[in-house]
Amino acid sequence: MPGCSRAQLHYADGMCGIVGYTGRQRAVDVVVDGLKRLEYRGYDSAGVAIVADGKLDAQKRAGKLTNLTEALKAQATSADGAVFEAGTTGIGHTRWATHGAPNDLNAHPHLSEDGSIALIHNGIIENFAQLRGALERDGVFFASETDTETAAHLLAREYANAPEGQDRLSEAMRRVCRQLEGAFTLLAVHRDEPQTVVGARRNSPLVVGRGEGENFLASDVAAFIAHTREAVELGQDQVVRISPTDIVVTNFDGTPAQTREFHIDWDASAAEKDGYDYFMLKEIAEQPRAIADTLRGRLTGTGEVVLDDVHLTPAQLREIDKVFVIACGTAYHSGLVAKYAIEHWTRIPVEVELASEFRYRDPVLGPKTLCIAVSQSGETMDTIMALRHAKEQNAPVLAICNTIGSTIPRESDAVLYTRAGPEVAVASTKAFLTQIVAAYLVGLYLAQVRGVKFGDEVSAVVRELEEIPAAVQQVIEVSEPVREIAQRLKDDKQILFLGRHVGYPVALEGALKLKELAYMHAEGFAAGELKHGPISLIEEGSPVVVTVPSPKGRSVLHDKMVSNIQEVRARGAKMIIIAEEGDDVVEEYADELIRVPHVPTLLAPLVTTVPLQVLACEIASARGHDVDQPRNLAKSVTVE
Ligand code: F6R
The domain that contains 101 carries what CATH number?
Answer: 3.60.20.10
Task: Read off the pLDDT of each residue in 133-152 and give the average, rounded to a whole number.
Answer: 93
Question: Structurally, how many domains does the chain consist of?
Answer: 3
Are 274 and 281 within 8 A, CB to CB?
Answer: no
Higher-confidence residue of 260 and 546: namely 546
**In-domain check, residue 364:** yes
Task: Read off the pLDDT of each residue in 578-593 and give the average, rounded to a whole number.
Answer: 96
Task: Read off the pLDDT of each residue in 355-377 and give the average, rounded to a whole number.
Answer: 95
Q: What angle in degrees, to the nearest 10, is found between the helix axes of 430-449 and 455-477?
A: 170
Residue ID of nearest Cα to ligand 1 atom 11? 329
Report the pLDDT value the prediction gives residue 406, as an integer from 0 to 100: 85
Is residue 49 domain-shared with residue 149, that is, in the same domain?
yes
In whole angstroms, give the CA distance from residue 431 to residue 424.
Answer: 11
DSSP letters, 21-86, are: EESSS-HHHHHHHHHHHHGGG--SEEEEEEEETTEEEEEEEESSHHHHHHHHHHHHTSGGGHHHHH
In whole angstroms, give the CA distance from residue 198 to residue 238.
Answer: 11
Is residue 114 domain-shared with residue 202, that is, in the same domain?
yes
Whether 2 has a pLDDT exceeding 60, the answer reads no
**In-domain check, residue 569:** yes
**In-domain check, residue 103:** yes
Domain harbouring 486, CATH code:
3.40.50.10490
Q: What percent of the chain has pLDDT over 70?
A: 96
Pocket residues: Cβ below 6 A from ligand 1? 328-331, 375-377, 380, 383, 427-428, 512, 516, 636-637
Residue 52 Cα distances to 69, 171, 244, 616, angstroms: 20, 22, 14, 47
616-628, pLDDT tens digit by residue?
Answer: 999 999 999 999 8
Q: How confident is the model at residue 554 (pLDDT cuts 50, 70, 90)?
A: low
Task: Read off the pLDDT of each residue in 282-306 and give the average, rounded to a whole number.
Answer: 89
Whether 268 has a pLDDT exceeding 80, the answer reads no
- What secondary structure, in 3-state letters, does 541-603 show? CCEEEEECCCCCCCHHHHHHHHHHHHHHHHCCCEEEEEEECCCCHHHHHCCEEEEECCCCHHH
**In-domain check, residue 58:** yes
Active site annotation includes 322 = no
Distance 518 CA to ligand 1 centre (A): 17
Is residue 214 domain-shared with residue 353, that is, in the same domain?
no
Segment (H or E) for 117: strand 117-125
Catalytic residue among 60, 282, 574, 635: 635
In whole angstroms, give the CA distance from residue 166 to residue 572.
Answer: 74
Is residue 405 domain-shared with residue 484, that is, in the same domain?
no
* Residue 558, φ and ψ in degrees, nearest 5: -60, -50
User: Among 264, 282, 303, which residue terminates a domain?
Assistant: 264
Distance 568 CA to ligand 1 centre (A): 31
**Nearest CA-CA partner of 503 in 603, 374, 432, 354:** 603
pTM of the model: 0.80
Are 49 and 91 within 8 A, CB to CB?
Answer: yes
> Which residues contact residue 58 at a Cβ distance below 8 angstroms, ignoring those fewer than 6 apart?
47, 48, 49, 50, 109, 111, 118
Report the pLDDT value the prediction gives residue 203, as an integer from 0 to 100: 79
> Which residues contact residue 425 at a Cβ distance below 8 angstroms, ignoring those fewer than 6 apart?
40, 278, 279, 280, 283, 627, 628
Longest dimension (CA), the chain: 81
Q: How confident is the model at residue 565 (pLDDT cuts 50, 70, 90)?
A: very high
Whether 143 has a pLDDT exceeding 60, the answer reads yes
Is residue 314 domain-shared with residue 351, that is, in the same domain?
yes
Is residue 519 domain-shared with residue 423, that is, in the same domain?
no
Is residue 456 domain-shared with residue 565, that is, in the same domain?
no
Is residue 90 domain-shared with residue 208, that is, in the same domain?
yes
Is residue 201 domain-shared with residue 335, that is, in the same domain?
no
**In-domain check, residue 22:** yes
Distance 330 CA to ligand 1 centre (A): 5
Report the pLDDT value the prediction gives residue 101, as an integer from 0 to 100: 58
Looking at the CA of residue 333, tell me the nearest atom of ligand 1.
10
Catalytic residue among 4, 16, 328, 371: 16
What range does the domain containing 549 cover? 477-622
Task: Read off the pLDDT of each residue in 262-267 and give the average, rounded to a whole number.
Answer: 85
**In-domain check, residue 32:** yes
User: Among 239, 264, 289, which residue terminates a domain?
Assistant: 264
DSSP state of 620: H
Residue ID of nearest Cα to ligand 1 atom 16? 375
Average pLDDT, whole number, for the chain?
91
Report the pLDDT value the prediction gives residue 334, as an integer from 0 to 100: 98
**In-domain check, residue 449:** yes
Distance 331 CA to ligand 1 centre (A): 6
447-506, pLDDT tens digit by residue?
Answer: 999 988 888 899 999 999 999 999 999 999 988 999 999 999 999 999 999 999 999 999
User: Among 264, 283, 298, which residue terminates a domain?
Assistant: 264
Is residue 300 domain-shared with residue 381, that is, in the same domain?
yes
**In-domain check, residue 638:** no
Is residue 362 domain-shared with residue 378, that is, in the same domain?
yes
Report the pLDDT value the prediction gives residue 627, as an integer from 0 to 100: 92
Residue ID of nearest Cα to ligand 1 atom 6? 328
In whole angstroms, give the CA distance from residue 616 to residue 513.
Answer: 6
Q: What angle in degrees, to the nearest 10, is found between the helix axes of 430-449 and 287-295?
A: 20
Q: How confident is the model at residue 98 (pLDDT cuts 50, 70, 90)?
A: low
Coil, strand, or helix at residue 327? strand
DSSP letters, 194-232, are: TT-EEEEEEBS--EEEE-SS-EEEESSGGGTTTT-SEEE
Is residue 462 domain-shared with residue 506, that is, in the same domain?
no
Report the pLDDT value the prediction gives residue 77, as an integer from 0 to 100: 73
